[in-house]
Structure 1
């Protein structure tokens, strides 16, 4: 965990959706930027006189590849001083002050049970990092379910990439769901509603019935996104019979 401040350089900016951007940041002072998938960096932005009011933390959306470049995916928050500055002022070639990597929202070792990655919005970032890391290094794993909640089809971050990955890797299921999509906007089968019904359906479907109560298949649950989703998921997962210790979370906002 690094608490030292570094100067990165923004080398690329791409609009991912109408209100979300991807930022690639190079760290010239380092030959390689090493981190664990799931960790975050904290940016120091010139938006306030007090240091702690200038800091904003973002999960790393890329995966460790031996280079000195990492990626962030950031949503423009209405009235948000930090994201307004990033979207309006920061251009390719500009410096960014950051510290990190930090955080303990990281993969279990070993991955000896199913993984449920449950997220909303830019909360997908750490799971994209974890997933590519597992597959790139052929890390032994069980089933991986990425359950991603967003409002509309146009909000689907990394959708094409993750769909193609799920078609290549049989142990990985990519399960996006849309809370505000309406039938006239799409011509193919999609999931609508919220994330909770999806993991509950998978878990109940895989429960091994016996003479006694259903035995739940061992799993780890990783939650990342808005507080309301995380609070509800925590309760529902425990109501299904899982121990609180199987749940790991990272709050956004």
Structure 2
């Protein structure tokens, strides 16, 4: 018995000593002091060294897209590191193309700030802000999709382009021991600057979607940052518009349509929306209203799991089948796609085959 007690005490003491030494080492060996970050050769920030570039920039209220919260699993937080970033890590290379590696692109969540570092980021990221809002409403769109309206604090506004997204923060809650950010497209019109709408589907065990669907209530406070994204509507031409979405990919497409309505953009436009059954269709009243206001807009829902009991007389199959049927050629057309990667890839292939140039097929994969 005495031997067991002695052994336990010895192991505890050794563990305590090792923990102390590790802490001491972290505070001394890894004490980089104050370090300068130089951005785009004209902005300088002094930060405490040792943290990731992503978190160091966030402390300066400069927000880089990062859907995984800085864990190196999404590949969103890319920046160009000109000097001082150290070698590229194995955790970064799976997310990089050959061209990106040659052009000094890094994952900012994996790159540590240990010395003076020079980076380049898009100027529009300086317009990204962090917002606090109140959940004004939560509506069930389907059994697995909710629509949220987030009202900004009095006097605050958000400026965004139709099609862009924000990052919503899911805080610590029972079953989730860490704060995480997840990207969601803005579904509301850009001309309403004091609130945003989000359309969020439930993903089993998803930290953010569980928070939204199981925990969040009307009247709660939430935090988000944005706007982000180079997927947005281009209104500098008169090309016919092909819109394609599945599920919650409806969100940025709605924002684009509201923008067209507000600005009297009467270009010919067709929305092909993919779902499984009629129960998966939502916001039909809003879309019907848009059809009545926009003279050249048409809505084509496509259902892939129809039975005789549904009495469905519309398009059957996936959206790419409807595109094959209705698009004769790609002459003077551009496209905006939002949905899962398989849909985006299959639809892009169809549109390219129809003759729409790849550079004017804009998409947002999620």
Give TM-score, length-normalised by structure 1: 0.88
SS across alignment from 2:337: strand
- For 1:19, the equivalent position in structure 2 comes to 144
Choose from 182, 198, 214 the match for 2:307: 182
- For 1:134, the equivalent position in structure 2 comes to 260
Contact residue 122 and residue 157 of structure 1 kept, 8 A: no
Measured after TM superposition, the shift of residue 63 of structure 1 is 0.4
- The aligned length equals 238
The unaligned stretches of length 5 or more in structure 1 are 208-215
Measured after TM superposition, the shift of residue 169 of structure 1 is 3.0
Choose from 218, 240, 246 the match for 2:354: 240
SS across alignment from 1:23: strand
Aligned pairs for 1:63-212 (under 5 A) are 63-139=189-265, 141-186=266-311, 189-204=313-328, 207=329
- For 1:8, the equivalent position in structure 2 comes to 133
CA distance in 2, matches of 1:146, 1:131: 10
Per-residue deviation, residues 75-106 of structure 1 (Å, max 9, x unmatched): 11122121011111111111111001111211
How well do the aligned residues superpose, as a CA RMSD in angstroms? 1.8
CA distance in 2, matches of 1:76, 1:66: 26
Per-residue deviation, residues 140-172 of structure 1 (Å, max 9, x unmatched): x42101010011111112122213322443300
Measured after TM superposition, the shift of residue 239 of structure 1 is 1.9
CA distance in 2, matches of 1:77, 1:236: 29
| Structure 2 residue 227 is the aligned partner of structure 1 residue 227 | no
SS across alignment from 2:140: strand
SS across alignment from 1:242: coil
CA distance in 2, matches of 1:70, 1:117: 21
Contact residue 246 and residue 275 of structure 2 kept, 8 A: yes
CA distance in 2, matches of 1:31, 1:97: 13
Per-residue deviation, residues 14-70 of structure 1 (Å, max 9, x unmatched): 11111111111011054433221111110111255666xx11010011102344111
CA distance in 1, matches of 2:286, 2:186: 17
| Cα distance, 1:230–1:66 mapped onto 2, change above 3 Å | closer
CA distance in 2, matches of 1:73, 1:109: 24
CA distance in 1, matches of 2:363, 2:193: 28
SS across alignment from 2:141: strand
CA distance in 2, matches of 1:239, 1:26: 43
SS across alignment from 2:189: coil
- For 1:58, the equivalent position in structure 2 comes to 184
| Cα distance, 1:87–1:169 mapped onto 2, change above 3 Å | same
Contact residue 13 and residue 92 of structure 1 kept, 8 A: yes
SS across alignment from 2:230: coil
Measured after TM superposition, the shift of residue 194 of structure 1 is 0.5
Contact residue 114 and residue 219 of structure 1 kept, 8 A: yes
CA distance in 2, matches of 1:88, 1:149: 26
SS across alignment from 1:17: coil
Q: Which has the higher contact order (CA 8 A, sep 6+)?
A: 1
Give TM-score, length-normalised by structure 2: 0.62
SS across alignment from 2:327: helix
